């Protein structure tokens, strides 16, 4: 009887210890979803007349930013395809709408047979400053071609849930101890993005879908 009671007490202590550890574990970061609809009219410093278009979705989990997109109708080959085949010309940049800056990460590209359409994908770890810019609408994605070297199509990354992005930005500022104000995210749900669910990165960088677009804006 004493041995049985001792076993029960030991098991209860183990369960309580496990529960306490779980209760004090730090919360996991919530995925934040972003979208971009690349068009010539968004290119800076001046709009580009082109039939090319692109669409992209991305997920930010902690400081890891994972991107997947597609494009079609390019006027000419990707700008750096021959010189840098692993970084042919689909880039992530810091900067608000209308600004141009050097890119900080090149995405992988898989072209279709026509050489003017395909998919792009990749993942990058963002530092605190890059997270700040992304969460406040000051990061963009663009595609560079031979004919339009500075960029043929472009768009800003917009959070599908601006309120969640603003909350994440507030937490980031608090963590950094920074009291400086930054513009709030002004993202909205693109028509094509509503109802999508971004879930996880699959092989070749494709994103499956898991949350929904929180805004009903056009």
Q: What percent of the chain has pLDDT above 70?
A: 69
The pLDDT value given to residue 158: 97
- What does DSSP assign to residue 183? P
The pLDDT value given to residue 17: 52
| Arithmetic mean of pLDDT, 61-83 | 97
Q: State how far the Cα of 58 lies from the Cα of 35, in Å rounded to an integer.
A: 6
The pLDDT value given to residue 214: 40
Architecture of domain 32-209: Sandwich (2.60)
The pLDDT value given to residue 3: 53
Q: State how far the Cα of 196 lies from the Cα of 94, in Å rounded to an integer.
A: 26
Position 49 pLDDT exceeds 90: yes
Whole-prediction pTM value? 0.74
Q: What is the pLDDT of residues 186-206, one digit of tens each?
A: 444 444 444 434 433 343 444
Task: Write down the residue that tokens 């082109």 correspond to.
Answer: 50
| Arithmetic mean of pLDDT, 61-75 | 98
The pLDDT value given to residue 132: 97
Residue with the larger pLDDT of the pair 143 and 176: 143
Q: What is the pLDDT of residues 98-128, one digit of tens each?
A: 999 999 999 999 999 999 999 999 999 999 9
How far, in whole angstroms, is CA 29 from its chain's centroid?
Answer: 14
| 59 contacts: CB under 8 Å, gap ≥ 6 | 31, 32, 33, 34, 65, 66, 198, 201, 207
Query: What average pLDDT is seen over the chain?
Result: 81
What is the three-class DSSP state of 142? strand
Position 213 pLDDT exceeds 50: no
The pLDDT value given to residue 10: 52
Neighbours of 179 (CB within 10 A): 7
Beta pairing, strands 207-209 & 64-72: unpaired
Q: State how far the Cα of 206 lies from the Cα of 69, in Å rounded to an integer.
A: 8
Tokens of residue 28, six digits: 């996991």
């Amino acid at each position: 009887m004493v041995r049985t009671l001792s076993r029960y007490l030991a098991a209860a202590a183990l369960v309580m210890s496990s529960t306490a550890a779980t209760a004090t574990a730090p919360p996991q970061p919530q995925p934040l979803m972003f979208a971009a609809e690349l068009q010539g009219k968004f290119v800076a410093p001046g709009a580009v007349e082109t039939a090319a278009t692109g669409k992209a979705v991305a997920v930010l989990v902690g400081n890891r930013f994972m991107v997947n997109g597609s494009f079609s109708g390019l006027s000419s080959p990707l700008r750096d395809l021959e010189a840098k085949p692993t970084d042919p010309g689909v880039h992530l940049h810091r900067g608000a709408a209308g600004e141009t800056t050097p890119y900080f990460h090149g995405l992988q590209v898989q072209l279709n047979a026509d050489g003017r359409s395909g998919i792009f994908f990749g993942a990058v770890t963002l530092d605190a400053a890059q997270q700040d810019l992304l969460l406040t609408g000051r990061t963009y994605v663009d595609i560079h071609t031979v004919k339009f070297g500075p960029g043929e199509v472009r768009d800003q990354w917009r959070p599908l849930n601006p309120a969640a992005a603003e909350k994440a930005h507030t937490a980031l500022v608090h963590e950094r101890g920074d009291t400086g104000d930054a513009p709030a995210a002004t993202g909205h749900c693109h028509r094509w993005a509503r109802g999508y669910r971004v879930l996880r990165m699959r092989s070749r960088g494709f994103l499956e879908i898991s949350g929904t677009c929180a805004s009903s804006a056009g």
